[in-house]
Amino acid sequence: MKRSTKIAVGGLATLSLLTAGALLYSEYHQDNSIEAAATAQFTRYLSQHGKSYGTPQEFAHRQAIFAKNSNYINEWNSGHKTHKLAHNHMSDWTDDERKKMLGLKVGRREGKTHFVQAGSTLPPSVNWVTSGAVTAVKDQGQCGSCWSFSTTGAMEGLYAIKTGKLLSFSEQQLIDCASSYGNYGCNGGSYDHAFKYIEAGNKLELESKYAYKRVQGTCNYNSNSNTAFGSLS
């Protein structure tokens, strides 16, 4: 009887060891599968954006940043219904690299009062994208010119609302030509200062005529251009 008990106990111990080994084996392969899937996603991202790194250490560093942003995107998309996030060419950038693009310089602003005509009925909300007053997403690149894009975006929307025609205006013109109004090209600026440039009589050229180059250059604004548009206020 004692011998049978010892055999039974020994058998249970062996079974426990086998079960534990099977679980460890399963977890090991599951972890490898997750890691392989993450690497495959990162490799596809590199191919999509034409990226490469000089060393294995840089590859691992950038992959870790990408993985962190992937987790943030997945968490956000699982809990928010109003809009979704996705990867772009900055998904492997550090916070400091992204901050270099934040060129908005906000100073003291003049207060303005807006009036609504008596008897007007306003909708609770307006989607200006579906209303045709917002151009497609633009890419400022590694140039601190966000202020110029906010300026053209406002002017594009205003023009579309007033005329029913959506045009894409030139950010490069503002980068090259609006420095004397308190802007610094790729080193930052303000939409308020850019608006003063337009209010001074400088028309905005079409982006197709004055293309974006991601660097500040010589001002090539032609005041006699028949494709440029002035203040619509």
Ordered mean pLDDT values, 10 residues apiece, the chain (233 residues): 50 54 52 77 92 92 94 91 88 84 64 72 91 94 90 95 95 96 91 93 95 95 89 59
User: Do 72 and 144 fall into the same domain?
Assistant: no
**With the C-alpha atoms ordered 67, 70, 71, 72, is the resulting torsion angle positive or negative?**
positive
Q: How many domains does the chain have?
A: 2
Same domain, 138 and 200: yes
CB 194 within 8 A of CB 183: yes
Q: Are residues 137 and 75 in the same domain?
A: no
End-to-end CA distance of the chain: 101
Q: What is the pLDDT of residue 63?
A: 95
Say if 184 falls within a structural domain: yes
Instruction: Quickly count: other Cβ atoms within 10 Å of residue 104's Cβ.
Output: 13
Instruction: Say if 197 falls within a structural domain.
Output: yes
88 within a domain of the structure (yes/no): no
Residue 137 lies in a domain: yes
3-state helix, strand, coil in the chain (%, to 5): 50, 5, 50
Tokens of 214: 């991601």
Residue 61 lies in a domain: yes
- Where in the sequence is the domain holding 29, given as residue range(s)? 2-79
Residue with tokens 């599951």: 30
pTM of the model: 0.65
Contact 152, 169 (CB under 8 A): yes
Residue 108, domain member (yes or no) = no
Same structural domain, 50 and 138: no
Beta-carbon contacts of 154 under 8 Å, excluding residues fewer than 6 positions away, are 191, 195
Torsion of CA 85, 87, 93, 96, to 10 degrees: -20
Predicted pLDDT at 117: 75
Nearest to 194 by CA among 153, 139, 137, 222: 153
Residues 147 and 208 in one domain: yes
Instruction: Report the amino acid identity of residue 39.
Output: T
> What is the per-residue pLDDT for 122?
84
Of 79, 110, 138, which closes a domain? 79
In terms of domains, do 136 and 230 share one? yes
